Amino acid sequence: MEDNSSNSLGEFINDFTYQANRFFNEASYLFFIRKWRFILLHSISFLEQKLNSDLQEQRKSRSTFFFEPSVNVFRKLNTISSVSFSYNYSQKPFSEEYFFRNPIFTSIRQTNSNTPDLQFSKIHSTSLNYAINDSYKQFLFIIGTNYIVTQGNYFSDLSIEPTRTQISFFFLPQNTNALNTYLNTEKFFYRALILLKFNANYGFQTFNNIINNSELRSNEIQTFSSKFEVKTAFKSKINFQNAFSFGRMVSGSVGGSSFVNENLNNSFSIIFKKNKQSHILITADCFVPNAKKINQNYLFLDAQYNLVLKNNNLNIDFVVKNILNVSNFEQISTTDYSENIFRSNLLPRYGILRVSCSF
């Protein structure tokens, strides 16, 4: 009887050697022109790469000189505001995770493999930023954007079957683009003793892949997230804090259907400070995994009592978690080729008593 176990296991054996030697020279220059500040940097490098795969008896080598410049420009418009701009060009070799040929298991049903290549990823990155920071009026405002073009990258070839998923990564000199725009602002109102914060972020990204022997597909992902916070600083014994956030992701292939995932989260806290030695914190978190089904939500309620005894240098904390005894949590996210379901069993209602002493 012939034993084929060694032959079947041989498909999942990887044995390769990767060696990289780099020599580089870096320099930076700083100078001012009126109210403008310029920082120029450059790097001149020589990189030698060697990739040997003993199992496939394949040898790859590559030696390259490259020049990487960057420019940073900054101007202070007045005592509280400024504007800045930067451009950076870099060339990055890929890490060892893309150099093994035979598949490896990354989950119960998924295997990953690669078609190794010693090419570089060439990255052009630009950013623009405007900021106001007024400490006297307790006001902060930051708005900015950055745009990245990547020339050459590894893309995925997915083969999805009923019992397993195979992903093979391969290099293509295709361009991918990524845009990110952000806004952060906060303001403290002295008369009302209220702090307001608002953060928003928008991202757009393109990439390519192949699914089940299709043509090369162009894909897009758009993401948006925002968070609005209110925090009080009343001189009374009771204060409040609330944070509301919204997230949205739209993904799909160019010319195909788009898939939308949206979620909501609200966190509300009450702080009761009896005196300088003790306080009570009650927090209610409401999470809606699918914004289109608001009635399907999860509410988590926690409480904490803190007591500090200064004379004895003693700190006592009593915490109660999951007061409503929520048993599990589930979130579903959908793309144009998969539906991912995340489920987690939660610890039942429990309490923790912590006592610490310093001396």
Looking at per-residue confidence, does 135 or 313 come out higher?
Answer: 135
Which pLDDT belongs to residue 127? 98
Does residue 272 surpass a pLDDT of 60? yes
Residue 312 has what pLDDT? 65
Q: What percent of the chain has pLDDT over 90?
A: 64
pLDDT in tens, 176-203: 999 999 999 999 999 899 999 999 999 9
pLDDT tens-place string over residues 41-82: 999 999 999 998 876 677 889 998 989 999 999 999 999 999
Q: What is the mean pLDDT of residues 279-284?
A: 95
Q: 270 pLDDT exceeds 60?
A: yes
How far apart (Å, rounded) are the C-alpha atoms in residues 14 and 1? 28
Are 72 and 126 contacting, i.e. CB atoms less than 8 angstroms apart? no
Residue 333 has what pLDDT? 85
Give the model's confidence band at 359: pLDDT under 50 very low, under 70 low, under 90 confident, else very high: confident
Q: What is the pLDDT of residue 2?
A: 45
What pLDDT is recorded for position 166?
A: 93
User: What pLDDT score does 153 carry?
Assistant: 93
Digit-coded pLDDT (tens) for 206-253:
999 999 988 899 999 999 999 999 999 998 899 999 999 999 999 988
Tens digit of pLDDT for each residue in 99-143? 988 899 988 889 999 999 999 899 999 999 999 999 999 999 999
Q: Mean pLDDT across the stretch 255-262? A: 87
